[in-house]
Structure 1
């Protein structure tokens, strides 16, 4: 999954450099993303670039999807205390997961991706708050994890309050509410952890 993320960042950087400005990039990718990727790979890297492109664009996402489904199955099995040694017990969880993933392929991916990104911000905030709690407990400099956590919480609230797929509040109102909510969460967290 890390390799997929790095690959995506590399492709974004290459595309920005290759197409020189955002409008051309958007127009090319909106029309035919595979054509744009092929053009960049063959122009910049030649035939070897095409092979690397297939690995980066096809193989890495497939392995990430496989890993996501497997880890979801294991997490569900752990929560429900289900043994996963036999194939049939794995299939009981794996088939519904695969079916749900298949159904999601018919939904607009950009919409799903926005919810996934928002959920990742929530997870990031929770992890950073956990790290902050650990540093407070060990009496270390917890500010290094608290500040990024506060920023992530602020962005998380702000996004869902004003996003089209969220509450669709006007930006000014959403920003004020997110500022207040972030301050409340931060104060409550620090009060609890300092006890």
Structure 2
């Protein structure tokens, strides 16, 4: 927004294509060499990240199913279904996938915060530093899935009340289980 000076200009640029905005900013701000580096960063790096994610998924699935994945045919037995699922996901609205992904990452972060809290409690350290963020993340996770269009679509007032109650119950159960 700072580069394009206002929301309407930014909206006009992005309505054409996000690549137009990236090209314009890179050309003006970093010149031709920077433009090449920007293209590498915007195009090539996500491709290699996707490749790494699919490879990691293939290896994880093969390990969990106790499959030998040293031979090419064994790797293909796991990789091809992953490829087809990934290809199928390209036909779904990416913003929907991204929202589910963001919510799942919030859940992972919340579990990690609760795990850190348990560790800090067991080692008799100041657990509040991870416990308060865990409570906040719990509240946000409940509220989001209850009112989001891809969730239960409850009215915000109802979902917020349910979220507060569910978070309070979660907090009480957690403290009873882990606090000495």
For the aligned pair, the TM-score class normalised by the smaller chain equals: over 0.9
Larger Rg: 2
Matched, 1:19 2:26: no
Partner Cα separation in structure 2 for residue 73 and residue 192 of structure 1? 37
Q: What is the number of residues matched between the two proteins?
A: 180
With structure 1 as the length reference, what TM-score do the two structures score? Answer: 0.87
Matched, 1:131 2:116: yes
Of 138, 152, 163, which residue of structure 1 is paired with 2:148?
163
The corresponding residue for 1:186 is 171
Partner Cα separation in structure 2 for residue 166 and residue 24 of structure 1? 33
Partner Cα separation in structure 1 for residue 99 and residue 105 of structure 2? 10
Root-mean-square deviation (Å): 1.4
Structure with the greater relative contact order (CA < 8 A, sep ≥ 6): 1 or 2?
Answer: 1
Of 133, 144, 159, which residue of structure 1 is paired with 2:129?
144
Shift of 1:193: 1.7
With structure 2 as the length reference, what TM-score do the two structures score? Answer: 0.94
Partner Cα separation in structure 2 for residue 23 and residue 133 of structure 1? 48
Q: Provide structure 1 residue ranges, at least 5 long, that are not aligned to the other structure.
A: 1-15
Partner Cα separation in structure 2 for residue 24 and residue 155 of structure 1? 32
The corresponding residue for 2:20 is 35
Partner Cα separation in structure 1 for residue 116 and residue 105 of structure 2? 16
Q: Which portions of structure 1, spanning 4 or more consecutive aligned residues, are displaced by more than 6 angstroms?
A: none
Shift of 1:108: 0.7
Secondary structure of the residue aligned to 2:3 is helix
The corresponding residue for 2:80 is 95
